Amino acid sequence: MNRAGQGRTGANRGQERRTESGHDFVSRRNTQSSQSNRGGRRRTEDTSRRNAKGHERNRKKSHERDFSAAAPSARVREADAARLVAFEVMQAVATEDSYANLVMPKSIRAHRLDHRDAGFATELTYGTLRNQGYYDSIIKHCVDRPLEKIDQKILTALRLGAHQLVAMRVPSHAALNQTVGLARGVIGAGPASFINAVLRRVSERSAEEWRELIESEATDDLQKMALTKSHPVWVVRAFRQALAVHGHSPQEIDELLDADNLAPIVNLVELPGLGSLDEARDKGATDGELVAGSALYSSGDLGRLESVREGTVRAQDVGSQLVARALAEAPLEGSDKKWLDLCAGPGGKAALLGALGAQRGAQLVANEASAHRAKLVSASLRPLPQGSYTVVTGDGRAIEKTVAQSKNLPAGMEENPRFDRVMVDVPCSGLGALRRRPEARWRKTPRDIADLLPLQKELFDAAASVTRSGGLIAYVTCSPHMAETQNIVNDILRDGAVELLDSGAAVRQVALSDESGTSVLSGEKDPSFAPNDKHPEQTTAQLWPHVHGTDAMFFALFRKK
């Protein structure tokens, strides 16, 4: 058995089955134990509950029954490194409001996982987070108390075990043995016994049987979809409404939820004029299909790439690349030297925007309200040419005051500048990035969105106050929720200070073209939607995971009157 517990019981199958890399999946101890157990079965009648050594049979049908592979003295009493990483990340997410994508790399490095074990830990963690709601529905059938009464560490272990039993190609005995060993090592012997009993009950049904049972308990189609696709009911309802609001069929909801539950491939971007994807291509990366300067990378740790360590190449979703380029490349009359990113943290879009601006002699002011995140922005912008950018710290709603008082504006930029291009990437629910941050679906509530709406509108108004007449303002949010997208656009237009442009055309313009010279974002992939039938030339743009393979990024481009 490898550290991930991926193997088969039985010496013959275990010795014959090997991975593509040639690693044996079954350890010597398990091979010997399996041989011993087979001997025990020959000496015991099928009607007995225990074998000759006193090991209790698994509670399965008689033709499926098997004995525990290990005597008490040989049972796993500590966590294997891969599962320990998954447990630590899940706990950080549950108890510290951490993001898995930020905690995972640190934990993998701390436990020195090799490429294979790191892959197992990543799949175990993200798969469990994505399907947490579904697994909770299963666990409820196997415990005698409400889940909220179960200690968080125990619940985390149960969820990890359920994912292995229901959705991963991990043999049941390995999933049980290793998860219980994890519990003994990090929680305690008593809780480990409880976890063992619960997971054995989970293992009594197949994945298909569990799905049929969970579906049968749904009161309506919406709840059935929420349970089986593992999204909160309110999110399913909001996504179905968002599809309709942005010109899509609500029937696409199945595809959208399925896309949310798929692990995304890492997207890379080269900073224009500074970076190159050649090193990544040499390591197996393939060129992206939507926008220039991007690539898909599935060859492991990005830290192995020197260009990534230097910061001239970085991971960034294609949706983010498209909206940054759309703002930078949109036609603009008059001066084009002063650019602003109002909510720049942690700095990904700001770096791409700054690099594009530097090629044309433009200077970027990157503002971030949080001092900690402002440091991240500074680190992200460091590869850019000196003098082409500056980072300021202040509440975005008070950007006029922040810029007026700042003493470190880029050289040559006058006091109290009025900007030519402004990015307003507002704080949002993040519902458009559930592929990358699956834990967000279990944290957010409709109330969270309601609380964000006034801030989003106020940030746009502040951006407009420092934009010159004729300048461009991009309203961007990683959410398809109608309240954060079309409703905000309607509120913005009601004030009369700006006009909505053809945002869809701006996005199509920066996308790659096919052999005929047509944008790859044309036809069925056209992200455009005209919110006002009387003005079809005024559009917004909404990207979708199930249509474009990107985060659900929303983009609306305005011109200051």
pLDDT tens, residue by residue, 405-434: 877 788 889 888 999 999 999 999 999 999
Q: Which residue has the tokens 């746009």?
A: 460
What is the dihedral sign for C-alpha 376, 378, 379, 381? positive
pLDDT for position 310 = 96
pLDDT for position 61 = 45
Check pLDDT > 80 for residue 92. Answer: yes
pLDDT for position 15 = 36
Helix (H, G, I), strand (E, B) or coil at 238: helix
Per-chain mean pLDDT for the chain? 88
Check pLDDT > 90 for residue 72. Answer: no
Mean pLDDT value of segment 236-243: 97
- The CA-CA-CA angle for residues 451, 453, 459, to 5°, reads 120
Check pLDDT > 80 for residue 52. Answer: no
- What tokens appear for 460 in the block? 């746009």
Helix (H, G, I), strand (E, B) or coil at 110: helix
pLDDT for position 194 = 97
CA distance 52 to 457: 72
| pLDDT, tens digit (0-9, with 9 covering 90-100), for 23-47 | 332 333 333 333 334 333 333 334 4
Q: Which residues are annotated as a binding site?
A: 343-349, 368, 395, 425
Check pLDDT > 90 for residue 511. Answer: yes
Nearest partner of 561 among 513, 503, 506, 496, judged by Cα: 496
Q: What does 121-173 look like in DSSP terms, one character per residue?
A: HHHHHHHHHHTHHHHHHHHHTT-SS-GGGS-HHHHHHHHHHHHHHHHSS--HH
Q: Which residue has the tokens 């990483």?
A: 85
Pairing of strands 338-341, 313-315: unpaired
pLDDT for position 529 = 97
- Other beta carbons within 10 angstroms of residue 450's beta carbon come to 10
Q: Active-site residues: which are they?
A: 478
Is there a common fold for 75-217 and 318-560?
no
Model confidence band, residue 299 (pLDDT cutoffs 50, 70, 90):
confident
Which amino acid appears at position 542 of this protein? Q
Does the domain at residues 318-560 carry the CATH identifier 3.90.180.10?
Answer: no
Q: Are 558 and 539 in contact (CB under 8 A)?
A: no
Helix, strand, coil % in the chain, rounded to nearest 5: 50, 15, 35
pLDDT for position 215 = 94
The CA-atom distances, in angstroms, between 263 and each of 390, 495, 552 are: 35, 41, 15
pLDDT for position 544 = 98
pLDDT for position 259 = 96
Q: Are 230 and 132 in contact (CB under 8 A)?
A: yes
Model confidence band, residue 75 (pLDDT cutoffs 50, 70, 90):
low
| pLDDT, tens digit (0-9, with 9 covering 90-100), for 252-295 | 999 999 999 998 899 999 999 999 999 999 999 999 999 999 99
Mean pLDDT value of segment 385-398: 96
Model confidence band, residue 76 (pLDDT cutoffs 50, 70, 90):
low
Q: Which residues are annotated as a binding site for S-adenosyl-L-methionine?
A: 343-349, 368, 395, 425
477: exposed, middle or buried (Cβ count in 10 Å: 0-12, 13-18, 19+): buried
Nearest partner of 375 among 351, 350, 346, judged by Cα: 346
CA distance 274 to 280: 15
- What tokens appear for 280 in the block? 């990544």
pLDDT for position 115 = 87
Q: Which residue has the tokens 């690349």?
A: 321
pLDDT for position 3 = 40
Listed range (7-11, 164-168, 310-314) with the worst mean pLDDT: 7-11
Nearest partner of 391 among 381, 383, 401, judged by Cα: 381
Model confidence band, residue 300 (pLDDT cutoffs 50, 70, 90):
confident
What is the dihedral sign for C-alpha 91, 92, 98, 100? negative
Q: Are 7 and 26 in contact (CB under 8 A)?
A: yes
| pLDDT, tens digit (0-9, with 9 covering 90-100), for 120-136 | 999 999 999 999 999 99
pLDDT for position 77 = 62
Mean pLDDT value of segment 187-208: 96
Quick one: three-class SS letters along 363-388?
Answer: EEEEEECCHHHHHHHHHHHCCCCCCC
Domain edges within the chain: 1-42, 75-217, 266-315, 318-560
| pLDDT, tens digit (0-9, with 9 covering 90-100), for 304-315 | 899 999 999 999
CATH H superfamily, domain 75-217 = NusB-like (1.10.940.10)
| pLDDT, tens digit (0-9, with 9 covering 90-100), for 428-475 | 999 999 999 999 999 999 999 999 999 999 999 999 999 999 999 999
